[in-house]
Structure 1
Amino acid sequence: MMLIIIGVLLVVFWKQHKEKELSKTPLPTSLHEIIVGKRDLLVSQALDKGIQVVIIEGFRSVEEQDALYNKGRTEEGAIVTHAKGGESYHNYGLAIDFALLNNSGTTIWDMEYDGNENGRSDWMEVVDIAKSLGFEWGGDWANFKDYPHLQMDFGLSIAELQKGKRP
C-alpha cells in the first residue's frame, strides 16, 4: 500500500514539475513553419485557379491582439475579434487571415466575387483549398463567424497553448 501512495505522489510531483516547465515556454514570435508552408501552398493553388489571395494577417503579438480586441470596445470602430491577447491562435503563429485581389488589383473581402468567372465564389474556392490543406475555417464557427480566418490547432486548445504546449 505504501508503494502505491509513493507512486501516486511521484506521478503528481512529475506532472506539477512538467506544468511548471511548460509555463516557462516562450511565446512564438512568428508563424509556425508548417503554417508558412501551407500558406504558400494556398496562395499558389488559388493562383492556379486564377484567384489572387492576399494574406492580410499572420502572427500577431499579444499586444497587437489586445489592441484589436479594444476596437469597438474602448476604442472607436466595429468589434472585429472576441479574443483578447493570448486567446487567439494568431498569438501562437497558428493562424492567418486572407482577402482577395480583384481584377483591378484592389483588396476585397467580397465572398460572392467570381473573378475567375467559373460560376463559383472565389472566396469559397479559397476556403475549399484551405480545408484540403488542413486549415480550419472561421466561417464554420457556430458562435462568431470569422470569414477571413484560417487556423491549424494541431489538436491543442488555447488553454494548452497558454500553459506552454506547442505543436
Structure 2
Amino acid sequence: MKNTKTAFSILFLLVLGGFLFIWLEKELAFREELEQRTLPTGLHPIVEEKRDLLVAQAAEIGIDILITDGYRSPEEQDGLHSQGRSSSGSIVTYAEAGESYHNYGLAIDYALRLDDGSVVWDIERDGNGNGESDWFEVAAIGKNLGFDWGGDWQRFKDYPHLEMTFGLSIRELQQGWRPEDKME
C-alpha cells in the first residue's frame, strides 16, 4: 500500500511538472512574441513632434542644437552600456537593453552646435549672450514641451537627456504597455 501511494505521488509530481514545463515554455514564447511585436523601431510620434518644436524654439532664441540620439535598438543600448565596462571609452549609461526610455522611442539627447558646425556638451556656454546657460535654456524649453530632463535627476545627472514617460515606468514598458499616439 505504501509503495502504491509513493508511486502515485511520484507519477502525480511528474505529470504536474510536465504541465508546468509546457505552460512555462508557452508563456515564455508568448512573451517573446509580444516583445518582438510591440517594440518600437523609432521615436514615438508625440516625442518626434516635440523634438522638432524643441529644435525650432531653441533656434528662435539663438541656440542651435543637434539631436544626438533618439530611439535606440536593444543592440545599440547594450553597446553603449558596455562602454567603460567590457569595451573602451567612458561610461555613458547605466541602462542595459530594455531599461532605457530610448529603447521605447520616448527619449532624445541633445548637444549645442557651434557656428563652425562642431558640437559641444558645455553646460555653461552662453552662445546667445543673454547671461543664461544655453544648455539650461534648452532644458527649460524641453520641460515646457512636456519632457522630463535628466539634469533634474537626483542620482545620476544626465544633462543631454530629455524623455517623455507618459506616466509609464520602464517595468510597465517591458511588460508591453505603450503610450497612446495622440495627446488628449
> What range is the shorter-chain TM-score in?
0.7 to 0.9
User: Which consecutive residues of structure 1, in runs of 5 or more, have no partner in the other structure?
Assistant: 1-16
Q: After the TM superposition, which parts of structure 1 deviate over 4 Å for at least 4 consecutive aligned residues?
A: 20-23
One of 126, 129, 134 as aligned partner of 2:141: 129
Q: Does residue 1:42 correspond to 2:51, yes or no?
A: no
Q: Does residue 1:165 correspond to 2:177, yes or no?
A: yes
**Number of residues of Structure 1 aligned to a counterpart in Structure 2:** 149
CA contact (8 A) 1:22 1:163 kept: no
Cα RMSD for the two superposed structures: 1.7
Superposed displacement of residue 102, structure 1: 1.9
Give the number of the structure whose alpha-carbon radius of gyration is greater.
2
Higher relative contact order (CA 8 A, sep 6+): 1
Q: How does 1:64-143 map to 2 (within 5 A)?
A: 64-143=76-155
% same residue = 60
Counterparts of 1:85 and 1:117, CA distance in 2? 40
Superposed displacement of residue 22, structure 1: 10
CA contact (8 A) 1:22 1:165 kept: no
Report what 1:12 is aligned to: none
Report what 1:33 is aligned to: 45
Counterparts of 1:22 and 1:130, CA distance in 2? 34
Secondary structure of 1:80's aligned partner: coil
Q: What is the identity, as a one-letter code, of the residue corresponding to 1:143?
A: R
Report what 1:148 is aligned to: 160
Report what 1:60 is aligned to: 72
User: Which consecutive residues of structure 2, in runs of 5 or more, have no partner in the other structure?
Assistant: 1-26, 180-184
Secondary structure of 2:38's aligned partner: coil
